[in-house]
Amino acid sequence: MTMPEKIAVLDIGKTNAKVVVLDCATGEEIAERRAPNRVLSGPPYPHYDIEVLWTFVLEALSAFAAQPGFDAISITTHGASAVLLDAAGELALPVLDYEHEYPEDVRRAYQSIRPSFSGTFSPSLSGGLNVGAQLHYQKTVFPEAFARTRTILTYPQYWAFRLTGVAANEVTSLGCHTDLWKPREGTYSPLVDALGIRDLMAPVRSAFDTLGPLLPDITARIGLTTPVPVHCGIHDSNASLLPHLVGREPPFAVVSTGTWVINFVVGGDLDHLDPRRDALANVDAYGRAVPSSRFMGGREFEMLTVELGALSPEAALAAVPYVIESGLMLLPNIAAGSGPFPGHERQWINDTNASTAQRWAAACLYLALMTETCLDLIGAKGPVLVEGPFSTNPAYLQALGALLGREVIALPGSTGTSQGAALLAGISPNVKPGRAVPAPSWDVAAYRTGWHERLER
């Protein structure tokens, strides 16, 4: 097979969507278009504006077909989404927003059939973060529409289906706290049969597989002279992980930051995961279980930005010593429904007359403490690689290094998801060495102890 020279990547996150083109020789992004990922309030429930996203994708591919060009397509999306197709390949129901909360009777009924954590390594999560809960909700509350379903797809593979007409599922999305997958065995969980959907699940394909060429009408619509191959696709956090699985020896940890802060331990085990604290197993692109933990750190950062105004990195970094000395603290949770401290509500401590810079410094310490807690829960060892937006936040990075007492490496670029998805097309990884975060002189031991003691009261 001829290796591609340029790869277009559909990268659909929870907050924003983008289409980028990467140069295979350098691994660099050479073109990009972005759009917000809008959620429509209903009816019948909050759902993604799929057709607006589809129009955006086609317009971006059309623009890039002429310049800079591309000769392969790969896909990465957020997790916690499934797509129901009818016999004509159209949506049987809208693609549900995983933050939607279900009625109490529906939640109770689902808890009675969901399989145990010991098999799925999938904790019980809020809303539709367990895809099994989504499917149960749709089947229970909208039985007539659900009865029209002929195929169920994981979310990256839905976009591949739109491009190729080939239906598939893939393990990084199936293994992303869905309740539907058994990571150790690499098979569906009993929930698939409890929901009566085994015959509806599209065939499982490797993330690396070429599902097919672009459909002829799409090839013509976006202005290509010849079809290009479309690869199966991958869950976004696992896309971020993938480049580090090639050429780096375990143990190490990857902190992938976006709307979610997802923490992976490569070289860890699954035996001590606590589902009550949002520790779980993900499944990597090779089908292997990876101990993981998470909190909604990017969403929390956005909420803080609304409250405090824009972050001044230099001012926040300069204010950290004062924050440690004064005991100015931010306690979890800013965004409810996930993370290692369920049930806690946000609280400022010793914040009287605190300046914006000091509050931001305390917020960066908060995000670092949450990350440290998440890494401890999954037994992280070795260097910690931070990628995504938090990799440019010096107060967060230096606080994390001070808390962990070991090497923290900030990786360049705003996100690793597009790079990881591009690897599915067969190019060699282009992982830059990153920047070792300087070790600060701060003594954070007493501050850390005080922060945790307040959470235990």
Domain CATH for 376: 3.30.420.40
Give the pLDDT score at 36.
97
Residue 239 domain-assigned (yes or no): no
Q: Give the Cα separation of 318 and 313 in Å (integer).
A: 9
Which tens digit of pLDDT belongs to each residue from 357-368? 999 999 999 999
Which tens digit of pLDDT belongs to each residue from 77-87? 999 999 999 99
DSSP 71: S
Give the pLDDT score at 258.
87
Same domain, 252 and 123: no
Q: How confident is the model at residue 271 (pLDDT cuts 50, 70, 90)?
A: confident
> What are the residues whose beta carbons fall under 8 Å from the beta carbon of 327, sequence distance 6 or more?
349, 350, 447, 450
Q: In the chain, how many domains are there? A: 2
435: β partners: 410
Same domain, 81 and 166: yes
Same domain, 175 and 282: no
Same domain, 287 and 372: yes
Tokens encoding 420: 């990881």
**Does residue 414 carry a pLDDT above 70?**
no
Residue 241 domain-assigned (yes or no): no
* Of the residues 232, 255, 273, the one at which a domain ends: 232
Same domain, 256 and 328: yes
Same domain, 274 and 203: no
Residue 419 to residues 110, 311, 318, 424: CA-CA distances in angstroms? 37, 27, 33, 9
DSSP 295: E
Same domain, 317 and 425: yes
Same domain, 265 and 388: yes
Same domain, 324 and 222: no
Residue 184 domain-assigned (yes or no): yes
Same domain, 221 and 299: no
Give the pLDDT score at 1.
56
Residue 182 domain-assigned (yes or no): yes
* Of the residues 190, 209, 232, the one at which a domain ends: 232
Domain with 146, as residue range(s), is 6-232
Predicted model pTM: 0.88
**Does residue 385 carry a pLDDT above 90?**
yes
* Of the residues 232, 267, 297, the one at which a domain ends: 232
